[in-house]
Amino acid sequence: MLFIMKRSFDLSKKPRPGESLIEALLFAAGVLSVFVTVAIVFELGKEAMLFFADPDMTWVKFFTMTKWQPGIGQYGIWALVSATMTTSVIAILIALPLGLASAVYLSEYASHRARSILKPVLEILAGIPTVVYGYFALLFVTPILKNIFKDGIQVYNMLSAGLVMGIMILPLIASMSEDALNAVPRSLREGAYAMGATKLETSLQIVLPAALSGIGAAVIVGISRAVGETMIVAVAAGAGPNFSFNPLDAAETMTGHIARISGGDLSYNTIDYTSLFAIALMLFLVTLTLNLVSQWIVNRFRERYE
């Protein structure tokens, strides 16, 4: 009794070396990742500034010209952006409906058996290296398209790359959407069924809207992946900037262009060199914006379920 009394009055600080050590390590890890990010952005910005500082380069040219060849004074970023946009839009048009449908099927309809087969298949799909997808597009999908469109389509084309890119991001959208659907509490479904709703009405009109913020985030992440994807477009979409939104044309995306040019021999401090950083900075800004939008969507539409 006396012992307990004594202890309970001692409120002085106890040293806990283990705690502080772990805390310091975790803090260091956090700082490191922030530092690396800042360093990359800094490097990117530094080189890109050289490009933007070039007296011949003006913002008007940058955003209105339709040809990209900085070496000879053509600064039209749209020549690359058009291909990035076209392939990404095709990819999302494929991946969103299919991904959403598989997510609804997996979370609302699939039996245990069907799930245990489909989930691993999706994971395998997500694990295939993108270069394999690239050659799949060029050597398998393009010949099929060639059969359909005959001479209307070029050997390298944005359609093939976009379609395959859609297949690539499908598992991502499916699994993120499925997580969002699974997070919708069972009580909400039961509430709908108790109103005499069918399974379809419940899935599409109650569960899906309830998971909208998560699905929105999945779509944005999917778009970011498509915009940033390099190998597939480098292999299958075409090698050379081309201002075109026609999926049947060959064109080079921002990423594909960076990959090709930086792969060749390139001397420092030339405009060709610094222009790559300018493209990279643009890409970075696009994905950053997409991420911010997705965070905003998640917060804005986050549902509380009780």
Minimum CB separation of residue 298 from other proteins in Å reads 15
Each residue 198-227 as x (binds other proteins by CB under 8 A) or -, in order, gives x--x---xx--xx-----------------
For other proteins, which stretch binds (CB under 8 A), given 47-55, 187-195, 245-253, 266-274?
187-195
For other proteins, which stretch binds (CB under 8 A), given 64-72, 194-202, 218-226, 276-284?
194-202
In the list 15, 71, 196, 264, the residue contacting other proteins (rule: CB under 8 A) is 196
Which residues sit opposite 69 in a β-bridge?
A: 74
Tokens for 5, please give them. Answer: 């009394």
Minimum CB separation of residue 206 from other proteins in Å reads 6
* Distance of alpha carbon 53 from the chain centroid: 30
Minimum CB separation of residue 99 from other proteins in Å reads 22
In this complex, which beta carbon is closest to other proteins, that of residue 207 or of residue 283? 207
In the list 39, 131, 139, 195, the residue contacting other proteins (rule: CB under 8 A) is 195
In this complex, which beta carbon is closest to other proteins, that of residue 64 or of residue 205? 205
In this complex, which beta carbon is closest to other proteins, that of residue 103 or of residue 192? 192
Contact between 306 and other proteins per CB under 8 A: yes
- Helix/strand/coil percentages in the chain, nearest 5: 75, 0, 20
Distance CA 239, CA 242 (A): 9
In the list 97, 185, 288, 289, the residue contacting other proteins (rule: CB under 8 A) is 185
Distance CA 102, CA 88 (A): 20
In this complex, which beta carbon is closest to other proteins, that of residue 148 or of residue 194? 194
Q: Map 73-91 to HEC letters.
A: CEECCHHHHHHHHHHHHHH
Each residue 236-255 as x (binds other proteins by CB under 8 A) or -, in order, gives --------------------
What are the φ and ψ backbone dihedral angles of 68, each rounded to 5 degrees?
-120, 110
Contact between 30 and other proteins per CB under 8 A: no
Q: Count other C-beta atoms under 10 Å from residue 194's C-beta.
A: 8
In the list 197, 248, 261, 293, the residue contacting other proteins (rule: CB under 8 A) is 197
Minimum CB separation of residue 15 from other proteins in Å reads 45
CA angle in degrees (0–180, nearest 5) for 243-244-249: 120
From 258, 217, 305, select the one nearest 84 (Cα to Cα): 258
Contact between 303 and other proteins per CB under 8 A: yes
Distance CA 250, CA 252 (A): 7
Which residue bears the tokens 């309970």? 8
Tell me the CA end-to-end span of the chain in Å, nearest whole number.
47
Minimum CB separation of residue 121 from other proteins in Å reads 23
In the list 110, 183, 188, 293, the residue contacting other proteins (rule: CB under 8 A) is 188
In the list 193, 248, 261, 298, the residue contacting other proteins (rule: CB under 8 A) is 193
Contact between 292 and other proteins per CB under 8 A: no
* Distance of alpha carbon 256 from the chain centroid: 16
Distance CA 255, CA 266 (A): 17
In this complex, which beta carbon is closest to other proteins, that of residue 57 or of residue 206? 206
Please, which residues have CB within 8 angstroms of residue 204's CB and are 6 or more apart in sequence?
A: 104
Residue 17 Cα distances to 7, 12, 21, 25, 27, angstroms:
21, 16, 6, 12, 15
Interface positions with other proteins (CB under 8 A): 185, 187-198, 201, 205-206, 209-210, 303-306
